[in-house]
């Protein structure tokens, strides 16, 4: 049973390992430039897969983009120049993480504002709710309540009226 469980765990770990679609013929000879290309590839969206980076995608267009990134790096472009080139060619959608600009400020500001608003609403809700059992427990019973309680405890209480 232990061996089966170990095999299942091993398969699960292997199954969740990130798959890389970079083919051996795409890899650059210089490891520093290859590392730059891989970092840039993780920031760029596959236009076919949409929520995958070109580093993870096996689509032909992703391969073309990976090769284009490597060409630009080999030509001496900086990371910013490569990104700018691809944005000029494919638009802002090619970026997995959009830039903070006038057109995209809503994408960046709405989540923190919603979080702050939710925290404020929760704080106001907690502040306005009744104090609860602490005040009720510290208040003594009235004479009518004591009489009713005694009747309930002795079993002589009349049936309650609806």
Per DSSP, the three-state class of 59 is coil
Structure tokens at 31: 């490891």
Q: How confident is the model at residue 17 (pLDDT cuts 50, 70, 90)?
A: very low
Give the residues across from 95 on adjacent strands. Answer: 44
| Fold for the domain defined by 20-94 | Helicase, Ruva Protein; domain 3 (1.10.8)
Which residues, 6+ apart, have CB-to-CB distance to 45 below 8 Å?
Answer: 51, 52, 53, 54, 93, 94, 95, 96
Q: Where in the chain is the domain with CATH 1.10.8.640?
A: 20-94
Cβ proximity of 66 and 28 under 8 Å = no
Question: What are 92-144's pLDDT values in tens digits?
Answer: 888 888 777 787 778 788 899 999 999 999 999 988 877 665 565 677 888 99
Question: What are 72-84's pLDDT values in tens digits?
Answer: 998 988 888 999 9
What pTM was estimated for this model as a whole? Answer: 0.54
């Amino acid at each position: 049973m232990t061996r089966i469980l170990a095999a299942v765990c091993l398969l699960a770990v292997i199954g969740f390992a990130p798959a890389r679609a970079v083919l051996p013929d795409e890899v650059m000879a210089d490891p520093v430039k290859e590392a730059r290309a891989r970092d840039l590839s993780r920031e760029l969206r596959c236009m076919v897969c949409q929520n995958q980076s070109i580093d993870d995608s096996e689509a032909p267009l992703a391969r073309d983009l990976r090769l284009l990134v490597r060409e630009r790096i080999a030509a001496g472009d900086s990371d910013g120049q490569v990104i700018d080139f691809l944005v000029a060619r494919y638009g802002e959608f090619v970026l997995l993480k959009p830039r903070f600009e006038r057109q995209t400020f809503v994408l960046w500001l709405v989540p923190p504002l919603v979080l702050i608003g939710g925290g404020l609403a929760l704080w106001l809700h907690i502040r306005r709710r009744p104090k609860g059992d602490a005040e009720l427990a510290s208040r003594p019973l009235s004479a009518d309540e004591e009489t009713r309680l005694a009747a309930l405890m002795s079993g002589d209480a009349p049936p309650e009226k609806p």
